[in-house]
Structure 1
Amino acid sequence: MTKRRNNFSKMRGIEAFLEPPPEAAKKEKKVDLLPINELQLPLKQPRRYFDPSKMRQLVASIKEHGVIEPLLVRLLDEGQHELVAGERRFRAATEAGLEKVPVVIQVLSDQEALQLSLVENLQREDLNPVEETEGILDLFSIEQSISKEEVIALLNLSANAKKRGQELTDNVVRQLESMQETLTVLGQTTLESFRVHRLPLLNLPTDILEKLREGAIAYTKAKAIARVKDKRKRRRLLKEAIEKQMSLVQIKERIKSLCCDPKPDSPRVEFESLTRKIAKSKLWENPKKWKRAQTLLAQLDALASED
């Protein structure tokens, strides 16, 4: 932690955002009032969905009490201010008709601003699992100075190496340890659990991803519904699961009834099943049926004798 804080100006570690240095904590943050029309949203925003009902509640609260917690902004070269953290408050204040909002201004680079915004959002309980997964990937990408695709490749490399009993290079081990440290600080799970349970969410069909972003369905249920390949059936099940608030067990039962026709049995299984059925029926006890059966048995005997 100390090492990262010493390199604070180069690239702030996640702990620097969550636990500021003691000397900084002693100083009271200066809060300014800025015209809301002088603030602009960043080009890359970690949050993409805002629950309409919760936004209405926030707008009503701001109309009555104002913005209690200041927004975090940074000063741009052209004299404008860019929002770093507090987008829900910013949007609600705009809708409430406020002309000015309280802000704390910090000097941040593009990467630091995005990193801080991601950390701030990842600590919020109402962040949906898709945005949370994307946010963690973005955070890994910034901290390791590699692309998100390279982050995913690194996690898969680690998993494959573990399966095969192979050793990883020191550099890869350091990267993985750093990413695990970030997850721990954020109160998240292990890297392997993130790889297995969270990354697959990003490959879900668009209609399911949309509902996940809205918080309309749990990701475990979404993953189950995604197994239905037929688009119409999948959309119908998705709508039904949300409207009826179906449990995961209920969804799995519906999938069984909706899904593709069962695979046909192998010839051997089919033949053995038929012979068991014949034996159970006791055809030989009915003279008429047995006579017809003898004709068919003779044909089968002939087939079996052919080269």
Structure 2
Amino acid sequence: MTYQKKTGLGRGLSALLNDSEPAPAAPSKPQSQSQAPAPKEDNTSPGNISFIKLTEIEVNPFQPRTEFDPVALNELAESIQVQGLIQPITVRKVSDNSYQLISGERRLRASKIAGIDEIPAYIRTANDQQMLEMALIENIQRENLNSIEVALSFQRMIDECSLKQEELGDRVSKNRSTVTNYLRLLKLPPAIQASIRDNQISMGHAKAILGLDDVDKQLFIHDEIVKGGLSVRKAEELVRDIQQEKKKKGPAQRQLFAPEYRKIEDDLASKFATRVKLKVQGKGKGAIEIPFLSEDDLSRILELLDW
């Protein structure tokens, strides 16, 4: 699909939604069954807000967000049961009695949990590309979106909306270097991406890991961060150590972090309950380094060695 740049798109979601004027207030529902029913108006044309049955709304196929906190959803559902849904969702009309969600999936899910039948919705006109941009920008602007979800959203906007990184930065109000840093996360091995997604490591840790090109070394640093609870600063120091070690090694020397060496280090670290480092030199020579934190720690290690 060919993307045509439109005036005002750089302002983000509000421009995409054409919100040049305040949105009309959500219509109030009848307060009493005894009142004579007023003639029913058709408020389901684009530009209006109307109450729509949840069964008539399908989720946005372009939704970039993949996970929703069940605790937060239940809390929102309880609030909706008491106060109702204050902020309408946004949908586009597909056909009579059929709508597609543009933004507000968290509110839609919570409303289903709350057991309500209808939800206030702002009805818009949008094509598939605009749907994608609106959904991506709306999600990117959320503070609780994890870094991998942001990176995937950026990549989708580049691939599916034919945007350059500078144009993407304009859409989401971020500079190019920030966009680039997020996109680089997608070059990391899947195991590391999963740790970022699950908040086991931070984006700062990931940036340190990206200082290494070798996948085995990246995975080694990742394992050290997770197992040892290393800070970003410690992770950066460890990466620098590996980079300096690489410069010292000759072409005939075996890789320090080859799988067999890494396994030996891991096994020794488990035995001594401390990080163990192998220092491998040429011609099969090397040393094993076992650090200790105090005299008591040294005594503990010596006992394990049957000293």
Sort the TM-score into its range (normalised by shorter chain).
Answer: 0.5 to 0.7
C-alpha change, 1:23 and 1:239, in structure 2 (3 Å) is closer
For residue 42 of structure 2, what is the aligned residue in structure 1? Answer: none
C-alpha change, 1:247 and 1:57, in structure 2 (3 Å) is farther
For residue 185 of structure 2, what is the aligned residue in structure 1? Answer: 201
For residue 21 of structure 2, what is the aligned residue in structure 1? Answer: 25
For residue 4 of structure 1, what is the aligned residue in structure 2? Answer: 6
Matched, 1:187 2:173: yes
**Residue by residue, what CA displacement relative to the aligned partner does 1:135-170 show, whole Å, maximum 9, x if unpaired?**
1222233443xxxxxx7xxxxxxxxxxxxxxxxxxx
**Residue by residue, what CA displacement relative to the aligned partner does 1:103-159 show, whole Å, maximum 9, x if unpaired?**
111121111111111111111111111111221222233443xxxxxx7xxxxxxxx
C-alpha change, 1:84 and 1:216, in structure 2 (3 Å) is farther
Structure with greater Cα Rg? 1
Distance in 2, Cα, partners of 1:21 & 1:111: 13
TM-score by length of 2: 0.59
User: How far apart are 1:13 and its partner, in Å?
Assistant: 2.9
Specify which of 106, 124, 130 is matched with residue 112 of structure 1. Answer: 130
User: How far apart are 1:52 and its partner, in Å?
Assistant: 3.6
C-alpha change, 1:217 and 1:142, in structure 2 (3 Å) is same
Identity of aligned residues (%): 25
Determine helix, strand or coil for the equivalent of 2:60: coil
- 1:212-251 equivalent positions in 2, closer than 5 A: 212-224=196-208, 229=216, 236-237=223-224, 239-240=226-227, 244=229, 246-251=230-235
Matched, 1:124 2:142: yes
Deviates more, 1:81-90 or 1:135-144: 135-144
Distance in 2, Cα, partners of 1:71 & 1:206: 34
Determine helix, strand or coil for the equivalent of 1:25: coil
For residue 87 of structure 2, what is the aligned residue in structure 1? Answer: 69
Contact 1:50-1:214 within 8 A present in 2 as well: no
For residue 305 of structure 2, what is the aligned residue in structure 1? Answer: none
Matched, 1:264 2:281: yes
Name structure 1 gaps, 5 residues minimum. 6-11, 145-150, 152-175, 271-307
**Residue by residue, what CA displacement relative to the aligned partner does 1:75-113 show, whole Å, maximum 9, x if unpaired?**
114742111101111112222222211111112111111
Distance in 2, Cα, partners of 1:23 & 1:50: 27
TM-score by length of 1: 0.59
| Larger helix percent | 1
Matched, 1:136 2:154: yes
C-alpha change, 1:229 and 1:59, in structure 2 (3 Å) is farther
C-alpha change, 1:96 and 1:209, in structure 2 (3 Å) is farther
Specify which of 6, 10, 13 is matched with residue 9 of structure 2. Answer: 13
User: How far apart are 1:16 and its partner, in Å?
Assistant: 6.8
Matched, 1:45 2:63: yes
Contact 2:9-2:15 within 8 A present in 1 as well: no
C-alpha change, 1:70 and 1:135, in structure 2 (3 Å) is same
C-alpha change, 1:93 and 1:239, in structure 2 (3 Å) is farther
